[in-house]
Amino acid sequence: MASICTYNSAIIITIILLLLKDALGMVPAVYVFGDSLADVGNNNHLQLSLLKANYPHNGVDYPGRKATGRFSNGKNFADFLAQNLGVETSPPYLSLPSKSNNTSVYLTGVNFASGGAGILNTTNSGACIRFDQQIDYYSAVYGVIVQQLGTTQAQDHLSKSVFAIVIGSNELLNYAKSNSASKASPQQFVDSLIPTLQGQLKRIYNLGARKFVLIGTGPIGCCPALREQNKTKECNAEGNSASVLYNKAVSSLLNEMRRQYSDMSYSFVDTSIVLNQYIQQPSAYGFTEVKSACCGLGDLNAKVACLPVSTYCSNRSSHIFWDFYHPTEATARMVVATAFDGSAPSVYPVNIRQLAS
């Protein structure tokens, strides 16, 4: 009898937590998938990976000046998405104790994103949590929620939650950096990614997701690492072309899924359009430096990653890029603000505020 009472008490507490979360935020939870643009510390737990940011000068502007594993001087896309939705930042999955069977751990959201991850399992293999593996982890979370809440209550909770996905940049970076003589055209390369991404998104949908936020890739060719390779220090045209084509393909994929699944809704953020506005008209958005990384070494601070031996700028909010690949906290904040309250062509068919309501 005692065990039954204990179990029933856990269910009651779980339901109360759900109701409280609905009252406090726009959505009950945010579940995050993707790469280093949304990693809030998962890679810290990968012992053999070198793709980490849990050392200075990362986190110099994070509360407590702490390097948390975010590839940023401060907060990233995942943080600002949660902040705008009125919920706490979802914790990294690998930080949760023993992948607890206590549903309350999972009800407010989980972050599965991992620096270096891509659509393909071969992207940075062994150094990150592959996107497919992230979905496997979420599948386990889904199972625990269903087991303790029941199918109906679990589906209700998940259908109101936001599922944010930031993926694709690592494949496009690898493509733009390649000098292979047999290299595919940008369109051919993008076309090769979409069937895999389609299967991944459908799998997440089949595990209860109904509200999707897809953050497209920025203008990959304009990141300091690729500018540094150009004698003129201008953007890599091929990389930018691939970014535009990728975002168009993902947008088309989402539209196709929406036609197939009438209960699915989404916001697609065309980060290439948004960041190009900052790059082309920096003063209008409060930026003064669009080419160089804030933290690093060498030309454009892009020869060496942001390491403890690197130098870093004092005017971080004026820089678009923190290191040779990643945006500053200021940039991430502005991109998410646009995604939250903006309109087409930056975000569509609805913005995140409309999606969440």
Active site residues: 36, 323, 326
User: Are β-strands 295-296 and 289-293 bridged in parallel, bridged antiparallel, or unpaired?
Assistant: unpaired
DSSP letters, 122-184, are TTTTTSS--HHHHHHHHHHHHHHHHHHH-HHHHHHHHHHSEEEEE--HHHHHHHHH---TTPP
**Residue 320, number of CB atoms within 10 A of its CB:** 26
Q: In sequence order, which residues have a C-beta less than 8 Å from that of residue 162 and are 6 or more positions away? A: 27, 29, 30, 31, 81, 85, 211, 212, 213, 352, 355, 356
Cis peptide before 349 (omega within 30 of 0): yes
C-alpha 163/C-alpha 24 separation (Å) is: 18
C-alpha 277/C-alpha 222 separation (Å) is: 12
In contact, 326 and 356? CB cutoff 8 Å: no
Q: How far is CA 100 from the centre of its chain?
A: 24
Region of 299 on the Ramachandran plot (φ > 0 left; ψ -120 to 50 alpha; else beta):
beta
Amino acid at 220: I
For residue 164, give both structure tokens.
Answer: 């944010």
C-alpha 166/C-alpha 326 separation (Å) is: 13
**Residue 288, number of CB atoms within 10 A of its CB:** 11
Q: Which of helix, strand or coil describes residue 299?
A: helix
Backbone phi, then psi, for 24, in 5-degree steps? Answer: -90, -35
